[in-house]
A and B are shown apart, each in its own frame.
Chain A
Amino acid sequence: MNKANKPELIIDGRRTDGRNLEDLRSVKIESGVLDNADGSAMVEWGNNKIIAGVYGPREVFPKHFSDPYKAVVNFRYVMCSFSSLEEHSRGGPNRRSIEISKMGKHVFENLILTEQFPNTAIDIDVEVLQSDGGTRVAAFTAASVALVDAGIPVKGFAGGVSVGKVDGRLAVDLNKIEDNYGESDVPVMFNSSNSEILLLQMDGLLTREEYERSIDLCYEASKKVNALQVDSIKKKME
C-alpha cells in the first residue's frame, strides 16, 4: 500500500462507509446451509462472504497424528481466487492462510471439549468467497456456528471483532480500506460463556491505553455478534 495516496478515512466523525466509530457492519449469519457437512454456517459480514463446514469427530488420518487424550482439531482457512480486489492468482494455502489456519486451530482447541473424544479428529473448513477486511474474525464466527450446528460439544460461541486505529482514532470493525491505510489492527475473540479471550493479535502500534480501550470495544461488539450466532441456531429450531 502506498501511504502517499492515503485517503482521508474519517470525515466529521464518519467513516468511509458512513458508519460511526463504534458501529459494526451489517452481520447476517445462517446455520445449516450445507447438506453434506455434519455442520455448516454462512456469514455475510458487510461485503465479506464466508462459508464454514465442520466434520467429526471422526477417525484421524494419518493415524499417528492422533492423540489418546483428546481430539485433534484441524482448521483450514482458504481464500478463493476471486475473493479479493487484488489478484489471488489461485486458491489454496499461502503464507497468510497458513497463519490464520494455525490461529483457528488454537481458538477452537480451547473452545471444543476435546477430551471427550480421544483418538479422533474434528475438521473445520472455512472458505472465504468474498473479502473486505476482518475475514479472520468473520471466518471464526462462522466456524463457531458450524460447530454448534454439528452438535460438537463446545464451551460457548467464539465471537469477536477487530478494532483498529484509523486516522489516530479507535474504530470498531475495520473494512479493507481502513485496514490497509490504518495505523493498527487488533482482532479479538471471546468465549461467549466465560468471556475468556480466545484470539488476540496485533498489527501496528498502539499505546497501552489505546490497547486496553480496544479490548473493551471488542468485548462490547462481541456480545452483539454472540446474539446473532444464538439467533441463527434458534432460527433453525422453529
Chain B
Amino acid sequence: MEKKIVTPGELLFDFPKRLSGAYVENGKTYSSVVGVLSEGFFIPLRGRYAPFPGDLIVGVVMEERFSGYLVDVNAPFPGVLDSRDLRVEFRIGDLLVARVDSVDEVSNLVLVDPKKLLKGEVIEVGAVSVPRIIGRNNSMIDMVRNITKSEVFVGKNGRIFIKNGNAALAAEAVRKIADEAHTSGLTEKIKNFLEARTNEQSK
C-alpha cells in the first residue's frame, strides 16, 4: 500500500482507535497532527515530546532547589531530579542524560540515574523523528557513528549529543535525517551523503 501524507482532521479509520496523533469523534478516528498513513499504521511527523517511563533523555539543568534540580527535557513541563538519589552535584546549564522514572497526569516528571555529559554538543530535532534517526536495529545511527567516528547519543526527547570524531558532519547528517524523515530509502540516501562528504574532506 502506498504512503499517504495526512493533515489534521482527516479520517484515518472508520472505527475508534486510540493512538498518538489522533482523536476519536462519533466512533471514528481522525488525525490531529501531520503524519503518514501506510498499511493501516499512522506515524505522526510533528509534535512535542511526551515523556514515558523508561525513556533515556538529554536534559539541561534549569534550576536548583533544596530538594533537587529542575531539568528542561524538551517537554511542556520540567523534570525533577531528587537530590537524595544523587551523588554528583550539578550546576545550572549542565547537560545530562537521565532516565524517566515516572510521569503522571498532573505533569510530575521524575528523573533518575543522571549522568553528566561533557565536551560535546547537543542538537535538537523533533522527538517524532527519533525512531528514524535510530533506524531499524540501530542501522541508521550505527552507520553515522561508523562513518563519522563520533559518539552519538540519541535522547528520546529529540536531543542528540555528539562528541569526538567528525561531529559537524554527524550533526549535519542527523539534521538531514530529521528533515527527510517521511521519505523512503533514507538509509541509502544518508550513506551516499556521508560518503560523498568524507571523500570531499579527505581530498
Contact = CB atoms under 8 A, between A and B. Distances in A.
Interface string A132-162: 0000000000000000111111111100000
Contact of B8 (A58, A153, A237): A153
Contacts of A210: none
B195 interface: no
B9 A193 contact: yes
Contacts of B8: 148, 153-157, 193
A208 B102 CA distance: 57
Most A-side CB within 10 Å, residue of B21, B30, B32? B32
Of the four ranges (under 10, 10 to 19, 20 to 34, 35 or more), the interface on chain B belongs to: 20 to 34
B33 interface: yes
A154 B9 contact: yes
A59 B76 contact: yes
A119 interface: yes
Contacts of A229: 7
Interface string B71-98: 0000011100000000000000000000
A193 B7 CA distance: 10
Contact of B5 (A120, A153, A237): A237
Interface in B32-62: 32-34, 44-48
Contacts of A56: 76
Given A58-B76, A237-B182, A118 B33 contact: no
A154 B46 CA distance: 12
A230 interface: yes
Interface string B1-29: 00001011110000000000101010000
A151 B76 CA distance: 13
Of the four ranges (under 10, 10 to 19, 20 to 34, 35 or more), the interface on chain A belongs to: 20 to 34
Contacts of B21: 153
A113 B8 CA distance: 11
Given A113-B32, A120-B77, A148-B33, A156 B9 contact: yes
A191 B32 CA distance: 12
A64 interface: no
Interface in B72-129: 76-78, 105-107, 126, 128
A93 interface: no
Name the 6 nearest CB pairs between A and B, nearest first. Answer: A156-B9, A151-B46, A193-B9, A153-B32, A57-B76, A151-B47
Interface of A: 56-59, 68, 113, 117-120, 148-157, 191-194, 229-230, 233-234, 237
Interface of B: 5, 7-10, 21, 23, 25, 30, 32-34, 44-48, 76-78, 105-107, 126, 128, 182
12 contacts: A58-B76, A59-B77, A113-B23, A117-B76, A119-B77, A119-B107, A151-B47, A156-B30, A157-B7, A193-B8, A234-B5, A237-B5
